Structure 1
Amino acid sequence: MKLFACIAYLSFVWITLLAGDLPDQFKQPLSIGRSTFSRIIEDNCVYVDKTGYINKLLNSKNRYFFIARPRQFGRTLFLTTLEAFFAGKKDLFKTLNAAKSNYSWQQSPVIVLNFLGTCAFNKQEFEQYLCRYIKSIAEQYQIELENENIFSSLFRQLVSELTQKYGKNNIVLLVDEYDKPMLDRIDSKEQYSETERILKRLYDVVGECDDCWRFVFITGLTKCSKQIVLSGIPTLFDISENDEYTAIFGFSKKYLINIFKPMLLTYTKSQRQCLDAVVDLIASRCGGYNFSCNIQQTEALINPRSALYQLYYQDSDNYFFDGCTPSFLVKILKQKQYSFELSSPVRVKKENFEIYDQQTILPEVALYASGYLTICGYDKKTNEYLLKIPNTGVKQAFHFLQKALDKICI
């Protein structure tokens, strides 16, 4: 029966494609080359609706949130979604889950600290960079800050001025990759510690201005020095391995079929396989991710970037290695002379996932943070995570990584 269904499906797809008469939904572009929510919606690209999670966050009893996820899983896209949401851009959400709530679309000033573009500054350069960054945000809101070069004082002034202008408990803070400046210096203990101290001074201001914030959302690639750098923020809710938020980034096979069916139909022709077989192929190369201890209660997730590129190019090439291999991972593996013996799941103590810094981060934790490993189980007796390679695409990327380590000078 399943064979007949596949044949019938393929026949429909091939006839439709050969006729060249594609419905409008087949022509909706993928979001390749677009990383912001507003651009994706305005360009009418295919969008996996994660806005229901905004309602869930707002309905919780928390205001301060933290999550760590590998790159290319949609962290930046979600932050730009939050930015548009709190800026009151209701028209962008009219067909999405966020519009189904009783939300009043109250407009708030939004401070975005995006560290993705930072590079390995020295101490003085990094402090100057922060000063310029904070002043540029002030200019967006027509706020004049005092002429001084202490970044923490400038940040405190900015928050104070915004509070006077818009009221208490109304400012939104969004941070993308809080740990990037530290990870860039992970091969130098002195520079790492300097950067750690600078970032702590910055985030201590967040805790000092508790009655100014409406919502704070901080993302990271890792949890490196989180217990130090973010210690000044009260009741920071870490949702990284929380069951309710495990699918906030990435998407399941169900989403893949429901949202990307038009592209999957064209893919069935190039692969000469039925829909189920093509979905399984993509999942085997790009999926298998889990960020929760409760494996039985959560669906495996697919890496969005790898899946989108595979759909776009209609092939089975490896799109993981180039886009998802951060430089800090290469440095750590090189320093610790890590041997790639991952034929069976590796065990890592849960505490090693939560508290670590430049000196204590384990190679396995760095691999997990980079998407090279994923959770496949949890041993309650020993309080250990079991980690494995999530899919065949990453398994292939491991070979590329191993070869690259021999050629890269750290």
Structure 2
Amino acid sequence: MKKYPVGIQSFESLRKGGYLYIDKTELIYRLISTGKYYFFSRPRRFGKSLLISTLEAYYSGRKELFQGLFINEVENDWNSYPILHFDLNAQKYDSPESLNDILNDILVKWEKLYGTEPSEVSLSLRFQGIIQRAAEKTGKSVVILVDEYDKPMLQAIGNNDLQNTYRDTLKAFYGALKSKDQYIQFALLTGVTKFSKVSIFSDLNNLMDISFDKRYAELCGITENEIHTWLEEDLHELSVNTNMSYDQVCKCLKERYDGYHFTEDSNGLYNPFSLLNTFARMKFGNYWFETGTPSYLAQLLKQNKYNLTRLSNEVVTSDLLNGVDTLINSPIPVLYQSGYLTIKSYNSRFNVYTLGFPNKEVEEGFISYLLPYYAHVQPAESAFQIMNFIEEVEKGEIDAFFLRLKSFFADTPYEMIRDLELHYQNVLFILFKLLGFYTEVEYHTSEGRIDLLIKTSKFIYLMEFKLEGTAEEALAQINEKHYVTPFQVDRRKVFKIGVNFSNKTRNIQKWIVEEV
């Protein structure tokens, strides 16, 4: 029986335990053979920690762990180097002292091995001293591996003072990579985001950022070709367990977990965490999304007054994607680098990227997650409410549908008054996106007008929404623009619905229903 490395981030444990390993060592060998300093960003649960662990095993000279892999066929010299491995991932950063304490704890352990000097009074001076003494005492250059370098910065989003404190600390600390260059063999920093410009990386201009490098696009993540190479038998087993055909299983895997693109014109990548969980449990699920979504993502969207309808078709420049120091102006970089949006297409003429959701797991999960942040509904009730909406449209219970929708706008926050139109649009977008996962929905917005088409097996709903107009005007627009014409020969029952929102009540003021 095949063993799937779900949650295993140690290369040694994976290899000794006989777990599946999709060989990435050809790319790793290219990495170590052609450069010295690297930065690599990918979303969480994409295999960055395993990559760091694999490099640690290689630089420790653990040849036995690489038997049967590409790197074992080409590497002749298996040398051991002193390794300084930082793991900043599994910590909580909520005060200036928390980062200092964690870095101090790491440095103390290394100082026991390599010594210290009284003059090294700061964290950065101590780190520099350790690098130099480790090289001098062992006679080998030092390897530096930093896992989730940005975790303190990410946890401080929304707290500018704390984030600036962390920025200053880490900027000085990582500066050791440049000041002690002659003692360093190799360095890799991984993370979710790149805090650039006047940030941590402003002095580290010797770091090569391979996050957008097509040569290393497949360093983390799993390609379709790799699935058929390493998991072909598993696909057939999944087919049996899910009562789906082989072709249906392949299609469902692709729709749910594929679609990540980190450079233009690259192969799509499957989320390894979701994919391996699917095979381990032999059923489909929202595995990556269920591991947690940072609340700051929803907060960033609201703070920036972001129009959620753009999530499926956001056009950006490469400069915006490359750093998240523009958070004050746009939440898009962190959404992209966190894996909630990905590259869908590239326009080389204007050097712009079109972003969208990578797959169904992310789209459905993220939209569902946003609902309580925008509508008057508790997180635990979201799924229940959506189920009721779906049942109501499927049964033709229009008044019940709108009464429920009206409750979503209850207690609209006073601070939303200036942006009521955007607030209405965002709530409706979330709701109708969620309905669209179970029914056929077309939703359009332009110049403040919101048009909606919902199709079920028995009914077709044509809706027009007005803000500070009248429901009668909305209904008249449906008639004047002949929205019904395409459905005149359809056997399903067709409803025309005009809806008006009131700024005064901050809610739906009236709806009128006409059956065709």
TM above 0.5: yes
Secondary structure of the 2:6 match is coil
Report what 1:286 is aligned to: 257
Distance in 2 between residues matched to 1:128 and 1:388, nearest whole Å: 39
Higher mean displacement: 323-332 or 234-243: 323-332
1:160 aligns with 2:128: no
**1:376–1:387 Cα contact (<8 Å) kept:** yes
Deviations 1:153-201 (A, max 9, x none): 2111211110111236x21111111111111111111111111000001
Q: TM-score, normalised by structure 2?
A: 0.69
**1:65–1:237 Cα contact (<8 Å) kept:** yes
Distance in 1 between residues matched to 2:23 and 2:296, nearest whole Å: 31
Higher mean displacement: 47-56 or 159-168: 159-168
Higher mean displacement: 361-370 or 106-115: 361-370
Q: Which amino acid aligns with 2:306?
A: Y
Report what 1:212 is aligned to: 183
Q: TM-score, normalised by structure 1?
A: 0.86
**Matching residue within 115, 121, 125 for 2:98:** 125
Distance in 1 between residues matched to 2:238 and 2:300, nearest whole Å: 38
1:383 aligns with 2:381: no
**Structure 2: any 5+ residue segments left out of the alignment?**
380-516
- Aligned ranges 1:27-106 → 2 under 5 Å: 27-60=1-34, 62-106=35-79
Secondary structure of the 1:375 match is strand
**1:264–1:275 Cα contact (<8 Å) kept:** yes
Secondary structure of the 1:387 match is strand
Q: Which amino acid aligns with 1:307?
A: L
**Structure 1: any 5+ residue segments left out of the alignment?**
1-26
**Matching residue within 214, 223, 239 for 2:210:** 239
Distance in 1 between residues matched to 2:272 and 2:111, nearest whole Å: 34
Distance in 2 between residues matched to 1:166 and 1:378, nearest whole Å: 48
Secondary structure of the 1:88 match is coil
**Matching residue within 132, 136, 148 for 1:177:** 148
Secondary structure of the 2:230 match is helix
User: Kindly tell me: are residues 178 and 252 of structure 1, through their superposed partners in 2, closer, same or farther at Cα, counting changes over 3 Å?
Assistant: same
Distance in 1 between residues matched to 2:311 and 2:183, nearest whole Å: 50
**Matching residue within 206, 213, 220 for 1:249:** 220
Higher mean displacement: 281-290 or 259-268: 259-268
Distance in 2 between residues matched to 1:121 and 1:343, nearest whole Å: 30
User: Kindly tell me: are residues 214 and 255 of structure 1, through their superposed partners in 2, closer, same or farther at Cα, counting changes over 3 Å?
Assistant: same
Report what 2:195 is aligned to: 224
**1:135–1:154 Cα contact (<8 Å) kept:** no
Q: Which amino acid aligns with 2:294?
A: P
Report what 1:309 is aligned to: 277
Secondary structure of the 1:49 match is coil
Secondary structure of the 1:95 match is coil
User: Kindly tell me: are residues 324 and 367 of structure 1, through their superposed partners in 2, closer, same or farther at Cα, counting changes over 3 Å?
Assistant: farther
Secondary structure of the 1:230 match is helix
Distance in 2 between residues matched to 1:362 and 1:343, nearest whole Å: 12
- Say which structure, 1 or 2, has more relative contact order (CA 8 Å, 6+ apart): 1
Report what 1:402 is aligned to: 370
Distance in 1 between residues matched to 2:329 and 2:210, nearest whole Å: 20
Please say which structure displays the higher CA radius of gyration.
2
Quick check: which one's strand share is greater? 2
**2:342–2:358 Cα contact (<8 Å) kept:** yes
**1:320–1:397 Cα contact (<8 Å) kept:** no
Distance in 2 between residues matched to 1:405 and 1:383, nearest whole Å: 34
**Matching residue within 80, 102, 106 for 1:107:** 80
Report what 2:236 is aligned to: 265
Q: CA deviation at 1:131?
A: 1.3
Q: Which amino acid aligns with 2:335?
A: L
Distance in 2 between residues matched to 1:310 and 1:219, nearest whole Å: 26
Higher mean displacement: 170-179 or 231-240: 231-240
Distance in 1 between residues matched to 2:315 and 2:330, nearest whole Å: 11
Q: CA deviation at 1:359?
A: 4.2
Q: Which amino acid aligns with 1:63?
A: K
